[in-house]
Structures are given as structure tokens and as C-alpha cells.
Amino acid sequence: MPASGQKYLYERLTPNDFQLLVNAVMPHAFPGYRPLPLGQSDGGRDGISEVDGKTLVVQVKWSSTGQHKDAVSWLAGVVRGEEANLRRLAREGVRRYVLVTNVQSTGKPGTGTFDRLDDKFKLYEKEYGFESMACIWREGLDGFLDSTPDEVKWAYADVLAGWDLVRYLITEHFGTSRDQGLRDLVRNVAATQWDDDELVKFSQVDVDRERVADLFIDINGEHLRKVEVPAVLPAGARGVTAEPVPAAKHVGGAAAYLLATKAPATLVRGAPGQGKSTLSQYVSQAHRAAFVPAELKSVKLPTPALPRFPLRADLSEYTRWRQGFDVFDPATSDASGSSQATAQRTKRPKARPAANATLECFLGELMTYASGGIRVDADGVQELFRRLPSVVVLDGLDEVGSPKMREKVVDAIDKFTRRARGYPTPVQVVVTTRPSNNELPEPAADLFEVISLNELTEDQRAEYLRKWCAVRDIRGKDGRELRKSFKAKSQEPYIAELAGNPMQLTILLELIHERGAATPTQRTDLYDHYVDLLLAREANKHPESVKKHREQLKEIMPFVGWYLQSRSEEQDLPGRMKVTELQAAMRHFQ
């Protein structure tokens, strides 16, 4: 492969295909250019043209690596090898000679390869009898290819990378058989993940049949950044610097920000139910819409200026995959519910070796499964990232419960993110998690910017209520009564506090819709109904703990709430407690 950052990957072609590409490009640079047949004795001519009434001969030289330790000697040797042919062509009236190559030049005046080869060609001009001899290096050929019609690029799509490749893959043009494999892979994966991410994942309140694009509210975010705060120095102190401290900067809608940011990696923090997973689905779908058939797309999804190929994965699945489970098999991917007996009968698999447990390896298996069996390994994933601008969304770091395993997962994320920066177009990485209050590892601060999700504003609550009524087909009088009831009940402070969180707001709307005037107005009754729905949601995310210990959780949650509140009032503490203290309080309660 050529050095990272090359715009066109000529090395993916064969020598004959490269010559055909040059033959397709030259007519746009030299009108009247005529290519000669391949594989025949051409007397030093791969193509000819008339420029200002003078004959020009083009010769093509392809390199399998795109680079040479001494490119000047190599290309000069090509010309010397054609000396007899070139002397004959000059005698026959050819006045100009152009050598075209995929090797990149260097431009340092006097000593760069561009000037050094030009100096040699000036000597050859006099020696052979040409008026001019020149070389079109890689960067010159790039410029010619830039200006050719798309149809020329599509015909040689193997050389495409970056945004040109995105444009090719989202059109209906077809290229070489090898490139057709990439097209099939990308489109199959996009179609499968489109179905996975299209619907809201909250079955307990009957919105899991609704599309994310129809219900999504772009929650505002705060960009946490490091700023230098001037320190108050003691008299006479020298050389003391201020420690950087977190500061918040409003970024507007988190989804809009993620679709436009140039930051290579972003950690999105949000409270439980704040909409982190829905945000990850929405951002992925906005990028993915470019790679799926038109009939699947929603007009409610934004269109990124530069769409990337998206891969979204749940970090809880990655964790179980590292442990050796087949997370793509519903019968074995979850040790709960209907598959619990199966999981109990199945011997715990052996954890994957570290070298085979990277995120690239996992994404390769994910793509193999999602594509319908097109085999993708870690090399294939890296090749895709080299050629295709991509975004990898890793949802639910907070779902990795074991501190030891979380440390391994965070280390894998950091290593993946560092490698992601080395591709010609760096892979954008987005990770979502709940705040951990520095109790659990998080991705490295030098790699990730941090976006913290805010609560819903009053306007956003009203917008969500309108969307929720629309998707539930609650219209006319029923809709007005629901909105009136919600507005009245929102005057209660404990309801207003819940309404700032999308998940909690959804639960409240469900209760109001189901029970109308009978919706509990007393705090305890409302709490009981709310917790029933909350635990139903959490049972899907944490089946082993929530389903097994549901009654104990219902008993202990009020105690923990009281304990936090009383400790906060008594000792003026923040509303958080360390894990060890929480464990001690639960043991005391039990």
C-alpha cells in the first residue's frame, strides 16, 4: 500500500489497468490523445497526441508500491532503457515526451526528486533530439483525475478512497468485481444495522414500534473542556502554574454537534434514561441513510455534509464476546429469560486471547454477521477504514459492570482510538456512558472530548409531547386533554423533575395516557407505578440482576433514596456516594 494519506490508490491496480486509467485520463488533459494497444510492441509509445501542431508521446510506468528509495534513478533508468526507441521517435518528428508514473515526487528546490529528474531530462532532450521531456508524477496525475468526469473514476473504482469512495458507494454505478465485494459488504451491513437501529428500544411503554427519527429530540449538551484558571499566588512565589479545571461550553443539540464536529473522538455522558442510546441510534442512522435504498430513508433525518460509513455496537455485547460468547446467536448471547436454561447447560466458553480480542476483531465478526456471511477479519476492517471515511459508535460503556472487565474494555477503546487516528481520514469514534464520578475507568482524556447531556428544556418537553401524541395517534380532543393533564401535573415539583429526562417523561406520559384523571397524584403511588415501569425497562438491560432480584430492588430503592437525602441534609454532602459506601448501606439495610 502507498503511504497513508494518498488520495488515489493506484497500487490496487495491475500494470495494464493503470495504463488503461492513464489512457482514460489523458484525453481530458491532452485533447486528441490516442492510446496504443496493450501488450504489444509499441516502440516506446503508450499514447500519442498533437499539441500545437507538434507530436507528443506518452509513456506509462507503474510501481507496485508507489514509492522507491531512489525514484530519480529508477525513472531515469526507464528512459535509458528506451534510448533506441526515443532516438528513432525524435528522428521521425516527435518533439515532446511525457513519462507518467504513480510514484510521488518531492519538491525541495534543487535537491527534491522533481527538480533532479527535470535536470536529467534536460540532458536527455539535447542527447535524443526532443524539444521537451517531462514527468507527470503522482500528484500531477491526481490533479488530472480530479478534473475527469465521475464516470472515469467509477470505471476504476479500485483506486478510490475517502469521500470519493463514499460518493461511489452511494451511487448506482458499478465497478470492478473486487470493488463490487466492498459495495455489497457496505450495503448489506448498512441495511441490517438500519433495521436494528430504526425503532426506539423501549418496549415497556409501547414505543418500541416507533421510528427513532419520529420521536427523537436533540437534547442540548455541554462541552466539557480544560481551561487554565489564573492561580492566586503567595507573595514572592515564582514558577507556580494553575491546574487545568473542567469548564462547560454550550454546544446546542448533541446530535447536530456530533454530525458536524471535527473532533476525532467524543465521550457522551448522560444520566440513566437521558437518551444516550437513542442519540447513538439517531447519529448512526443519519450517516447510514446515504448507504441504504431510498425507500428506507426518513425525511426527518438530517443529511450530514460528509456522510461516513457507520458501525454501531453495544459495549455490553463486546464484553461478552471478549469472554468467548457468541453474542450474535440469540440462544446463547444472553444468560437470561428463555435462554437461561440453555446458558446454564452450556459450559462457560474460554475468554479470547488479547491479540484476538481487539475492537477490530469484534467489528469484523459483527460485519460478517450483519452482511449475511461476507467474511471480514481484522485486516478487512482496517482496509475498509483506510479507504472509507467511517464513524464507530460504541454505546453503553456503563453497561460493563465488572471493574476489571471495564478496565480492559476502556483500554481496548483507547488503543482502537489511537489506531483510528492513523487512517487517511481518521475514523470518528463516539462512546456513550453514564457519569461514573471517577469511580470507574473512562476513555483517556487526551483522546476524547466530553459532551455532557442536559435535561430537556420546557420547549423540548412540549415538542416531545407533540411527537409522542402523533406516533401514538392521539389527536383532537384526546390530545388536548392529555396535554392539559400533563401541564397541570407538571406543576408538582416531583413530577417536573422527572419530566426533564426523556425516559422518565415517556413513563409519565404513559401513566397519564393510561390512567387519565386516575393518574396517581400522591408521591408514593406515583413512585410505585413509575418504578414498576422503570424496572421493566432495566430488566431488559440487566436481566440476570433485575429479573432475579426484582422484589429486593423494589424494597431497597426507597431506602437508598432516603439514605442519600438524609446524608446530604445532615452532612451537606453532594448527591453521590462512593460504591463502597453504597454497598455498606445496602448490607446494613439487609
Average pLDDT, the chain: 84
| Model pLDDT for residues 82-93, shown as the tens digit of each residue | 999 999 999 999
Helix 113-128 / helix 71-81 crossing angle, nearest 10 deg? 20
- Residue 431's CB is within 10 A of a number of other CB atoms, namely 25
* Cα angle 32, 35, 40; round to 5: 155
Give whichever of 151-155, 243-247, 576-580 has the largest mean pLDDT: 151-155
Give the bridge partners for 451, in sequence order.
Answer: 223, 268
Residue range 571-576: average pLDDT? 55
Contact, 256 vs 218, CB < 8 A? Answer: yes
- Band of residue 476 on the pLDDT scale cut at 50, 70, 90: confident
- Highest mean pLDDT: which range of 242-251, 279-288, 502-511: 279-288
pLDDT tens figures, 174-204? 555 556 788 889 999 999 999 999 988 765 5
Do the beta carbons of residue 351 and residue 323 sit within 8 Å? yes
Which of 246, 256, 258 minimizes the C-alpha distance to 218?
Answer: 256
pTM to 2 decimal places: 0.75
